[in-house]
Structure 1
Amino acid sequence: MKFNKNLQNIKTYEAGKPIELVVREFGIEPKDIVKLASNENPCGCSPKVIDAVGAILPKMALYPDDSMIKLKNGLSARYGVQNKNVIIGSGSDQVIEFLIHAKAHNGSKILMNSITFAMYEIYAKHVGAEVIRTASQEHDLDEFYELYKKEKPEIIFICTPNNPTGDALDAAKIYDFLSKIDGDTLVVIDGAYMEYAIAKESKKEIVPKELIEKFDNVIYLGTFSKAYGLGGMRVGYGLAESKIVEELYKLRPPFNITTLSLEAASEALNDEEFVKKSITLNFEQMKRYEEFAKEQKIDIINSYTNFVTLCLNSEQDSTKISNQLLQKGMIVRNLSSYNMNAIRVTVGTHEQNSRFFELIAQYL
């Protein structure tokens, strides 16, 4: 059987191992497994969300409100934009897929950082586009601009804070970069971890309303999977000039967000106190990782997210150490697939982090 030839050079995206799989593979009790691989909120989600979702469980037999008006109204109010500037996807991943299918095609060029979110490249290859990457590990906008002038890409992806490294760009530098890009090049600002970056350093804040007002070729992406603790609900969104949103809607399937997910995200927006508490805990615990890295004499990338990237030295092997941790019930993300001898670790609760330090110290 023949398939789309564009699929031949695509590697399947490897998500963090689920707890259930580790139970089956290693016979470890679920209570003894700590998952710090997928950047989920260790605080879970707001109790108000749980109550709201529970109240609408009887509606599961009905299709969701395809206008998504309640969540759109909430996002519009939060960001000071209009509903026509909002598109909602099953995770921000789906919005990325819409963007690439709407703008790129076989022979198009898509520019991104050397190390960044893997789905940009995977979706680019779906349509036969050529991926252009920078040489720098962290986003170097001067290098981006030189490649932009040389390659004339259809789409540029800027992930800030960046996944899987955790570094973030100053908003002023991004705005300056955008001012030099022609209006027919789509620029995607992926702000999946922006809530964390803003809390740590205000000059990292990207304001979607400003983007929309200043640039009609830019879209901002956000998600409920991180700070809001709704990874299992799969809700993301894009904020852009209405003409971009109109084109993306031509690709959106009906009922792409479930009734429960829409209710959960709408309610999560209303509980700002929960988000603030989660972020405060995150950066309190991140200090422990910074101290641990210093004690162990390994590098740690300054993170503006809810995870840290530990860069191992030449005598250590990220694949070996990740597997050793896994056999002890500690799930982390090995970054060898990004050509990095490093591991990415979600910042967990105090107890989870203590367990991580205890285990990995044996292997370092």
Structure 2
Amino acid sequence: MKFNKKLENIDTYEAGKPIELVVREFGIEPKDIIKLASNENPYGCSINVQHAVTEIVPNMAMYPDDSMMKLKEGLSERFDVAEENLIIGSGSDQVIEFLMHAKADENSKILINSVTFAMYEIYAKHVGAEIIKTASQEHNLDEFYALYKEKNPDIIFLCTPNNPTGDAIDAAAIMEFLAKIDSDTLVVVDGAYMEYAQYKDQSKSVSPKELIEKFDNVIYLGTFSKAYGLGGMRVGYGISDARIIKELYKLRPPFNVTTLSLEAASTALKDEEFVNECIALNFEEMKRYEEFANKQKLDIIESYTNFVTLCFCDNIDSTQLSDELLRRGMIVRNLSGYGMNAIRVTVGTKEQNDRFFELVQELL
């Protein structure tokens, strides 16, 4: 059987190893496994979300509200944008897929950071586009601009804070960069971890409203999978000029977000107190990772997210360390596939982090 030739050079995206697989592979009890690999909120979602979802379970025979009115109204109020500036996806990565198919083809060029969210490259390969990468590990906008002038890309992806490194770009620098980009080049500002960045440092806080008021070629992406604790519900969104949103809707399948997911996201959006509590705890625990890294003489990238990236010297192999942690029931993300001798670790609860420190110190 023949398949689309574009698939030949695409690697399957590998999500963080699930707890169920570790149970089967190593015979470890589920209660003894700690997953710090996928940047989920370790405190889960708010009790209000749980109650709201439970209440609508009897309505599961009905299709979701495809207008997504309730969630759009909430996002419109939160960001002070019009509903026609919004599109909702099954995770923000679905919106990335829409963007790629709306703007790019085999004659297009896509500019991304050398180390960043893998789905940018995978979706670019879906349409056969050429992928251009910076040399720098962290976002360097001067380098981005030089490559933009040289290569004339059709889409530019800025992931801030960046996954999997955790660094963030100053909002003012992003605005200066966008002012130099022509209006036919689509710029994607992926703010999946923005709630964490703006809590830690307001200079990193990107305003979607300001973006789309000043530039009609920019789309901002957000998600409910991180700070809001709804990774299992798969809800993301894009905020952009109405003309761009209209084109994306031509690619959106009907009922692409479930009834449960829409209700969960709509309720979570109202519970700012819970989200802020989770973010505050995250940065309290992150200080312990910084202290641990200093004590163990490990390099740690300053993070504006809910994860940390620990980089190793040649005498420590990230793959071997990740495997040994896995055998002990600790799931982290090995970054060797990104060309880094490093691991990415979700900042967990105090107890989860205690166990991580204990195991890594033992192994080192």
CA–CA distance in 2 between the matches of 1:107 and 1:284? 47
Deviation beyond 2 Å, 4+ runs, structure 1: none
Shift in Å, 1:61:
1.0
The residue type equivalent to 1:269 in the other structure is L
Partner of 2:66: 66
Partner of 1:220: 220
CA–CA distance in 1 between the matches of 2:185 and 2:107? 15
Partner of 2:123: 123
CA–CA distance in 2 between the matches of 1:184 and 1:190? 19
DSSP-derived class of the 2:308 partner: strand
Partner of 1:299: 299
Partner of 2:257: 257
Partner of 1:76: 76
CA–CA distance in 2 between the matches of 1:362 and 1:129? 46
Shift in Å, 1:93:
0.4
User: What percentage of aligned pairs have identical amino acids?
Assistant: 75
Q: TM-score, normalized by length of structure 2?
A: 1.00
Partner of 2:247: 247
CA–CA distance in 2 between the matches of 1:98 and 1:121? 14
Partner of 1:313: 313
Partner of 1:181: 181
Q: TM-score, normalized by length of structure 1?
A: 1.00
CA–CA distance in 1 between the matches of 2:295 and 2:162? 26
Partner of 1:340: 340
Deviations 1:251-270 (A, max 9, x none): 00000000000000000000
CA–CA distance in 1 between the matches of 2:334 and 2:161? 19
Deviations 1:19-51 (A, max 9, x none): 000000000000000000000000100100000
Superposed CA RMSD: 0.3
Shift in Å, 1:107:
1.9
CA–CA distance in 1 between the matches of 2:59 and 2:203? 43
CA–CA distance in 2 between the matches of 1:255 and 1:329? 38
Shift in Å, 1:17:
0.5
CA–CA distance in 2 between the matches of 1:52 and 1:196? 25
Stretches of structure 2 that go unaligned for 5 or more consecutive residues are: none
CA–CA distance in 1 between the matches of 2:273 and 2:262? 20
Write out aligned runs for 1:21-36 (5 A): 21-36=21-36
Shift in Å, 1:148:
0.3
CA–CA distance in 1 between the matches of 2:4 and 2:116? 26
Write out aligned runs for 1:1-364 (5 A): 1-364=1-364
Shift in Å, 1:203:
0.4
Shift in Å, 1:127:
0.2
CA–CA distance in 2 between the matches of 1:336 and 1:59? 45
Matched pairs, number: 364
DSSP-derived class of the 1:116 partner: coil
The residue type equivalent to 2:315 in the other structure is E
Shift in Å, 1:329:
0.2
CA–CA distance in 1 between the matches of 2:205 and 2:316? 36
